[in-house]
Structure 1
Amino acid sequence: MTLAALGVVYGDIGTSPLYTLKECLNGHVPLPIVPENVLGMLSMVFWGLMLVVSVKYVVLILRADNRGEGGVLALMALALREAGTGSRKALFFTALGIFGASLFYGDSIITPAISVLSALEGIGVVSHRLDPYIVPITIVVLIVLFVLQARGTASMGKLFGPVMLLWFVTLGLLGLYQVVQSPGVLAAINPIYALRFVVHHAWQAFVLLGAVVLALTGAEALYADMGHFGRPAIRRAWFGLVLPSLVLNYFGQGALLLANPKAIANPFFLLAPSWGVLPLVVLATVATVIASQAVISGAYSMTSQAIQLGFAPRMDIEHTSDTEIGQIYMPGITWFLLVAVIALVLLFRSSGNLASAYGFAVTCTMVMTTLLAFTVLGRRFAGIPRLGIFALLSVLLVIDLLLFSSNALKIHDGGWFPLLVGVIAFTLMMTWKRGRALLNDRLHQGELPLEGFVEMLESSPPQRVEGTAIFMTGSADRVPHALLHNLKHNKVLHEQVVLMTVENADIPYVATRERVAVRRLGETFYQIIATYGFKEEPSVPAILKLVKELQPELDLDPMQTSFFLSRETIVAAKYPEMSLWRRKIFALMNRNALRATSFFKIPPNRVVEMGMQVEL
C-alpha cells in the first residue's frame, strides 16, 4: 500500500525539484549565486517542506478524515455537519469548500503542462539545437496521456509505484553525491539562514515565497488521496522516502550552485554526469506523466463528488476497473482539460513562464483547507487542548496567507489563468446549486402530500393495468409529479406502484446493509429510499436487487416494470428569483445534464418521461 501511495500521491510534489530552485534563484527576481542567497533559499524551501507539508498536512490535516476519505469537499462536509444547515456559518463553509475545489481545476490544467515541459527541457542540456522541438514533443506526450485515459489507470497503475520508487531513489542519490562534495550546504537546515535572508532582503524574500511554494505543490494530494491508501501508508511514504529524497536533491542542487554558479541554467539536470542526462530526461518525463495522471484522476474524483453533493449537473462517468470504485473516466472533463493544457503550453511555452501561473491556485486552496480545519480538528486530538490546536493552526494560517499573498503578486504574469478557471467553476457550481434549490421549491409548490393520497387512491382507484410502475422522485413525503401527470393524462394505475427516492449522504460511502429502506404505504403502494455517499454512484438495478431480498413479495420482473420520470424545461418567470444571466446558465446546464436514465443506470427501453415546464 505504501508503494502504491508513492506512485499516485507523490507524483506532483516529487517532480517539483525539476524547476523549484531554478525559479527561486533565477526566476522573476534573479539573485546573485552567492552562499548567502543559496543557503537562505534552501533554508526557506526546507522549512516550507517541514512546516506546511510535514506538520500541517501529514500530522494535522490527515486527521480530518470523513470516514477515511479526504479532500477539500470531504472537509467541507465535515465542517457543515458541525455548523448545521441553513446558517450563515454553513454558507461560509460551503463557499470556502467549493472555491477550493474550483481552484483545483486550474491546478489540474497547470500541473501536466509545467511538469512535462520542465522534464523535456532537459533535452536542452544535451544539445541546444533540440530546443525548438521541446514544445511540439510536449504536446504529443500530453495528447497521448489524455487519449490513454479512456483505458483507465488499472494497468498503468501497476507501474506507477516502482517507477516513482526509482525516481525518488535517483533524486536522493544525485543530491547525496553533491552534498558529500560540499557538506557545508547542510548548514541551511538551520532556520537562521532563512531568517537572515528575510531580514536583509525583506521585499525580495516576500516575492520569492511565490517560487518557494513550487516545492509544496502536491501537498493537497496527500489529503485528497487518503481514502485510496489510508493515513499510515501516506505517512510512511513521506517520512521514509519522499521527504529525505527531496531534501537531499534540493541541497545537492544548492551544493552544485555553490561550486559552479553557471549551473543555474538547469541545476537539476546538471546534477547528473553527462552520460546520465538523457536517461534522466526519460525518467523525468515518465515521472511527470505519472504526476499528471494523478492530478487528472483527482479532477475526475472531484467532479464526481461535486455531482453527488449537488453542485454539478449529472455527467457521463465510466468505470475503468472491475474492482476499484475510484478508478473512473469522464470524457467531458478529459477533453476540456486536454484543450486547456495544450492552449497553456502554446501560450507560455516554457516551465519558467508557467511558474508564474503556478502556485496561486495551490496556496488559495491551502488557505481554504486551514480555515475549514479550525472547525473540524478541535476534537480530533485526544489529550491536547483545543486552544493548543487552534494556536498551531493560526501559525500555519499565517504561513499560508504569506504564501498566498506572495503568489497574488503573480496574477498579472499568469496567475490570472487558474484564478479565471476557479472563478468560472465556482460560478457554475454555485449557480447549479442555487438553481436546483429554486427548482425543487417550485416543484414542491405543485406537489400533494403523500400522507392520505395513497389511501384515497386505493379506496377509489382508476383503471388498473398489469405490471409494476416505479416513479422516481426527489421528495420522500410528496406525490411525484410523474404520478399525477400519468393519472391526469393516461387515467390508469399499475397493479403495483413504487415511489423511489435516491438520497445523498455527507459521508463518502454507505454500508450495503444501510443502503435501502422499504416501506409499505398500502395494499399496492411501496416506498423505496436508497442512500448513497458522495463518492458512490447510484444504480437503480442494484437498488432493486437489494429490495428483492428485503421485500420478496414485490414483483420487480424487469419485463413487467416501467419507470416514470419527470423532465423539466426552464422558462422565465414573471418575477424571477435568479438574475437573467444565471438563469440562462442554469437552463443551459440543465438541458445538457446527463439524462437521469443513464445516470441511475435505468434500462432505457423501460422508461417513460413526463415533460413539464417550470418557471424560474
Structure 2
Amino acid sequence: MEQGDSPVEEGSSASSPERDGPMAGESISKSSIRSMPRVNKFDTFDVEAGRNSLGHNEGLSWVMITKLAVQSIGVVYGDLGTSPLYVLPGIFPNGIKDNEDILGALSLIFYAIVIIFMLKYVWIVLSANDHGDGGTFALYSLICRYAKTSLIPNQQKEDREISNYRLQLPDRRQKRASMVKSWLENSIQAKYFLLFTTMLGTSMVIGDGILTPCISVLSAVGGIKMAASSLTDNTVMWISVGILVFLFSIQRFGTHRVGYTFAPILSLWFVSIALIGIFNFVNHDPGVIKAVNPAYIIAYFKRNHKEAWISLGGVILCLTGSEALFADLGHFYIRSIQISSCGLVFPAIVLAYFGQASYLRKHPEGVSTAFYSSMPKPVYWPMFVLAVLAAIIASQSLISAAFAIVKQSVALGCFPRVKVIHTSNKVEGQIYIPEINAFLMVACVGVTLGFKNTLQMGNAYGIAVGSVFVITSFFLIIVMIMIWKTRIIYILAYIMTIGVIELAFLSSVLYKFMDGGFLPLIFSFLMVIVMFVWFYGYRKKYYYELDNKVSADELIKVASSTNIRRVPGLALLYSELVPGITPMFTHYVANVPALHSVLVFVTIKSLPISHVSLQERFLFVRLEPHDLAIYRCVVRYGYRDVGMEHGVFEGLLVSQLKEFIEKVELDFDRHPTKAEPGDQDGIRRDRGLVDDALKNGGITYLMGESELVAVKGSTLADRVMINCLFAWLKSFVRQQDQVFMIPRKRLLKVGVTYEIS
C-alpha cells in the first residue's frame, strides 16, 4: 500500500489508540489546528483549488490529465469495450436472412455510437456535471440547487454563499427558465415525480452493475467452446461464477489500484480488437465502409419492418457502459475522459464492428459467435485470455458507478446509511462500499445461475440501459431549459434526434419484457421501494422535529432556570434539524437537569452540491442572551465530502468557534453585527469560557436515539411504512454516532420516541 494512501472509512476512526486527536481538557490554538498533519487525510481536496464548472482543476497539468486519461481506460470503458462480444448475435438471434441486413445493422451500430455515446455523453452530458461529479443524483442536485424542489425544508440563504453552490448562468431566455422553475417549485406532484425519477434512474444504474458482469463474463468465457466443444453450458456458467466472485473480492483494494492494474490490459484489448478489425476489413469485404451512409438504415427497415424494430434491442447493447462514463466522472476529469474516448475507445470499437461485419458478409453462418469466428486462428488463445480479462474489467465501470451513486443517495437522505470507505487521499471520489459490493456479488451469481446464457440476459440488459438513457435525457432537458437557458431550437433538435432515438431503443427492448426483460424492472421496483421508504421515514422525522422545535423563549427559560445546573465542559448536541432546536433538548433536560458551561447545537447538513470547502463548512449563530454561552453550528457537507475523524473535527470546530467569537456575532434572527473595539472585554470573556470548558470538562457529545412510531389513528399506509418497513430498514443500518464518527466513550445518548402523524 502506498504511503499516505490508506483507506479511510466514513464512520470510524483511523487514528492511533494512543493519540486520536486533542484530549478533552486541552486548549486548542489556531496554530495547532493549522499544523494538524492529518487534515488532508480526510478532506484531500478541501485544501486545494476549487473546480470549475467543467469538472476539472484549472491548474491541473497536462501530465496529470493524461495520466488520468490512461487510468480511466481501466475503469470507465470496460463495458463499452467488450460489447463486440455479444452485439451482433443479439441483433441476429435467428441468423442473417439477407446479406444486405449486415450493412443496415452496421450502420445502426455506427450512428448509435456516434450520436449517443460520443455526441450525447462525451460532449454534452459530461458538461452537465455538478462540480466534477456525474450521475443521476448529480443532475438532480443541480436542479434542486437552482429551484426549491427539495422535499426537506432545510434550505438556508447562507448556503448560497458557498462557492460551489453558486451557479454562473447566462442571463438570456429567462422567461422560459422561470416558467419551468416556478412549475417545479409550486407543484408537489412535480417534486415527487422528480425524486421518483431520480430514484428509478439510480436503481437502473445499480441494475446495470449486476447485469454487466454477468453478460460480459459469460460472453467471454463462452468463446472457449469453439476450441473445446465438449464443454457444456453448465461448465461455462460455473467458470463465470468463479470469475465473478474473484472480481468482487478485489474491490476493497480501491478504484485507483484497480484502474492502474487494469488500464494496460484494457488498452491492449482496444488495440487488439482494432487491429483484428482492420485485418478482417481488408481481407474479407472492404465494401462494408458503405454503412456510413444512413440510407442503409432506411433500406434495412423497409425490408424487415417489425423485425428491424425488434433488432434495435440488440443494437442498444453496443452502448452499454455509456451511463457509467457519466456516473464515474467523479473518479476522473472531463478532459481525461474526452481524450481517452476520442483517442482510443471510439476508433477501436468502430473498427471492431466494421471488421466483424466484413467477415459476416462472406460467412453469415458465423453470426452467433461473430467475435470469435471472425478472429484469425493464430491469435485465438491470446485473444480468448484477453477477452476474459477485459470482461472482468468491463464489470468494474458499473461497480464503481454503483458505489458512487449510492454514496450520493446516502448523503441526500435517499438511501439507508451504509459504510463508505475512501480508498485514496490522492484522487477524490474513489470509494468502496462493502454492503453494496456483497449485494452486487450475490445478485450477479444469482442472475448467472438463473439465465445461464447471454440471450435473455441481453434482453434484461437492454431495458436497464434504455431506461437510464431516457431518464438522463429528461434531466438534461430540464438543465438545458432552466439552468443553461439553451436556445429553444437546440433543445428541440436534441429531443427530435437523440430523444427520439432513445425512445425507439426503449420501445424495442420493452417488447422483450417476458423474455428476461422483466428482471431489471423488478429489481428497480424493489430498490425504489427501499429508497422511498427510507426517504419517507427520514422526511417524517424531520417534519416532526420541525413542528415541535424548541422556541427561543423556551430555550432561554430552560437554560436560565435555577433548577438547571451548569457543569464544566463543552457539549456538542447533535441533530439533523436545521431551522431551530431539536425537541430532544427538552427531553434531555427533563431527565438530566444539567447543562455544560458551553453548549453547541450541532446540525449535520448535506447540501445538494458535491463539495464544501473547510473554510465554508462551519456556520455559527450565537443564541441570546450571551451570558448563557449557547451556540448553534450548522456543519455543511457535500455529497462527495469525506467525513472527518472526531479529533480533527473537534479541533476545527473549536478553532472556528473562537474565530466566530472574535470577528462576527449573529443574533438569533441572524443579523450580522461587527465586534467593536469596546467589545474586547466580552470577546476575552467568551473565549475564556470556551478555554475553561475544554480545560475543566473537555468535550462531551449528546445525541438522541429516536424511534418513530405512527400515532394512534394513523392510516394503514402510515402504520405499515413507519412501524414496519422503516423500522425494519433502520435495524439494519449504521447508527448516527457511527456516521458522525463520535467517540463512544464521550457520548451520551438520549432515547426518545416520536409519534408520527
Same fold (TM over 0.5): yes
**Shift of residue 600 of structure 1?**
0.9
Question: Which range is displaced more, 554-563 or 225-234?
Answer: 554-563
Question: 2:644 — aligned with what?
Answer: 539
For 1:323, the aligned partner's letter is K
* 1:31 matched to 2:134: no
CA 1:450–1:274: 2 relative to 1, 3 Å: farther
Tell me if the contact between 1:24 and 1:208 (Cα under 8 Å) persists in the aligned partners. yes
- Which string of whole-angstrom CA distances, capped at 9 and with x for unpartnered residues, describes residues 391-420 of structure 1? 223321111111111110111111111101
Q: AA paired with 1:111?
A: T
Q: Work out whether 1:2 is the aligned partner of 2:69.
A: yes
Please, which moves more after superposition, 202-211 or 564-573? 564-573
Q: For the Cα contact (< 8 Å) 2:558–2:564, is it kept in 1?
A: no
Correspondent of 1:244 among 347, 360, 363: 347
Q: Is the 8 A contact 1:122 1:269 kept in 2?
A: yes
- Aligned residues of 2:708 and 2:755 also touching (Cα < 8 A): yes
Shift of 1:333: 1.1
CA-to-partner distance for each residue in 1:263-306, whole Å, 9 max, x for gaps?
A: 22311122322232121121111111112122112111111100
Higher relative contact order (CA 8 A, sep 6+): 2
| Alignment partner of 1:574 is 2:712 | yes
In structure 1, give the amino acid aligned to 2:419.
D
Residue type at the aligned position of 2:75 = V
Q: Distance in 2 between matches of 1:513 and 1:55?
A: 38
In structure 2, the partner of 1:592 is 732
Mark the runs of 5 or more structure 2 residues left unpaired by the alignment: 1-67, 150-184, 659-686
Give the whole-Å Cα distance in 1 for the aligned partners of 2:289 and 2:127. 32
Where in structure 2 are the equivalents of 1:41-190 lying within 5 Å? 41-85=105-149, 87-88=186-187, 89-131=190-232, 132-181=234-283, 182-190=285-293
Q: What SS does structure 1 have at the residue aligned with 2:311? A: helix
Give yes or no for contact 2:269–2:390 (8 Å, CA) kept in 1: yes
Which residue, out of 648, 654, 661, partners 1:548?
654
How many pairs are equivalent? 612
Tell me which amino acid in the other structure corresponds to 1:87. N
Select between 250-259 and 312-321 the one with higher mean Cα deviation.
Answer: 312-321
Partner of 2:79: 12
Once the two structures are overlaid, the 10-residue window that deviates more, 479-488 or 456-465, is: 456-465
Q: Which moved more, 1:445-454 or 1:177-186?
A: 445-454
> How many angstroms apart in 1 are the aligned matches of 2:488 and 2:343?
30
- In the alignment, is the contact (CA less than 8 A) between 1:499 and 1:526 conserved in 2? yes
Contact 1:105 1:421 in 2 (8 A): no
Alignment of 1:404-483 (within 5 A): 404-450=506-552, 453-454=555-556, 457-458=559-560, 460=562, 462-483=564-585
In structure 1, distance between residues paired with 2:483 and 2:119: 15
Q: What amino acid sits opposite 1:14 in the alignment?
A: G
Distance 1:615 1:381 in 2: 44
Deviating more after overlay: 312-321 vs 478-487: 478-487
Cα distance in 2 for partners of 1:371, 1:216 equals 18
> Mean alpha-carbon deviation: is it higher for 531-540 or for 584-593?
531-540
Q: Are the equivalent residues in 2 in contact too, given 1:432–1:586 (CA < 8 A)?
A: yes
Farther off after superposition, 189-198 or 534-543? 534-543
Between the aligned partners of 1:262 and 1:208, the Cα distance in structure 2 is: 18
How far apart in 1 are the matches of 2:242 and 2:191?
A: 45
CA contact (8 A) 2:328 2:397 kept: no
Q: What TM-score does the superposition give when structure 1 sets the normalisation length?
A: 0.95
Instruction: State whether residues 72 and 259 of structure 2, in contact with CA within 8 Å, keep that contact through their aligned partners in structure 1.
Output: no
Alignment partner, residue 201 of structure 1: 304
Aligned runs of 1:219-298 on 2, under 5 Å?
Answer: 219-298=322-401
1:424 CA drift (Å): 0.8
CA displacement 1:297-342 (0-9 Å, x = unmatched):
2111111100111101211222223333422222211111111111
Instruction: Name structure 1 gaps, 5 residues minimum.
Output: none
Does the aligned pair in 2 maintain the 1:66–1:78 contact within 8 Å?
yes
Partners of 2:443 and 2:583 lie apart in 1 by: 41
Q: In the alignment, which of 619, 634, 638 is matched to residue 529 of structure 1?
A: 634
* Greater displacement, 441-450 / 164-173: 441-450
Is the contact between residue 328 and residue 404 of structure 2 (CA under 8 Å) also seen in structure 1? no
Deviation at 1:380, TM superposition (A): 7.0
* Contact 1:82 1:375 (8 Å CA) reproduced: no
Contact 2:569 2:597 in 1 (8 A): yes
Instruction: Report the equivalent of 1:210.
Output: 313
Displacement of 1:446: 3.1
Residues 282, 87 of structure 1: alpha-carbon distance in 2 compared, 3 angstrom cutoff: farther
Note if 1:329 corresponds to 2:394. no
* 8 Å contact kept, 2:321–2:397: no
Q: Is the alpha carbon distance of 1:444 and 1:84 closer, same or farther for their aligned partners in structure 2, counting shifts above 3 Å?
A: closer
Residue of 542, 561, 567 corresponding to 2:699: 561
One-letter code aligned to 1:505: L
- When normalised by structure 2's length, the TM-score is 0.78
Q: CA deviation at 1:68?
A: 2.0
* 2: CA distance, partners of 1:257 / 1:381: 45
Do 1:472 and 1:563's aligned partners in 2 also have CA atoms closer than 8 Å? Answer: yes
Q: Distance in 2 between matches of 1:465 and 1:186?
A: 83
Contact 2:214 2:447 survives alignment (8 Å): yes
Please tell me whether the aligned partners of residues 70 and 223 of structure 1 are also in contact (alpha carbons under 8 angstroms): yes
Distance, in Å, in 1 between the alignment partners of 2:645 and 2:488 is: 44
SS state at 1:488 partner: helix
Displacement of 1:540 after TM fit? 6.2
Where 2:641 maps in the other structure, the secondary structure is: coil
How far did 1:343 drift?
0.7
What letter is aligned with 1:7? G
Q: Distance in 1 between matches of 2:704 and 2:73?
A: 46
Distance 2:113 2:409 in 1: 30
Q: Which moved more, 1:152-161 or 1:38-47?
A: 152-161
Q: 1:228 to 1:199 in 2, by over 3 A?
A: same
Maintained 8 Å contact 1:567/1:609? yes
Change (3 A) 1:451 1:404: farther
Cα deviation code 1:460-494 (max 9, x no counterpart): 46112222211001223433334322211121111
Q: Secondary structure at the match of 1:608?
A: strand
Distance 2:458 2:734 in 1: 37
- Is contact 2:73-2:259 (8 Å) kept? no
CA RMSD of aligned residues (A): 2.1
User: Is the contact made by 1:84 and 1:90 (CA closer than 8 Å) also made in structure 2?
Assistant: no
CA distance in 1, matches of 2:489, 2:389: 45
Counterpart in the other structure of 1:309: 412
Local SS of the residue matching 1:341: helix
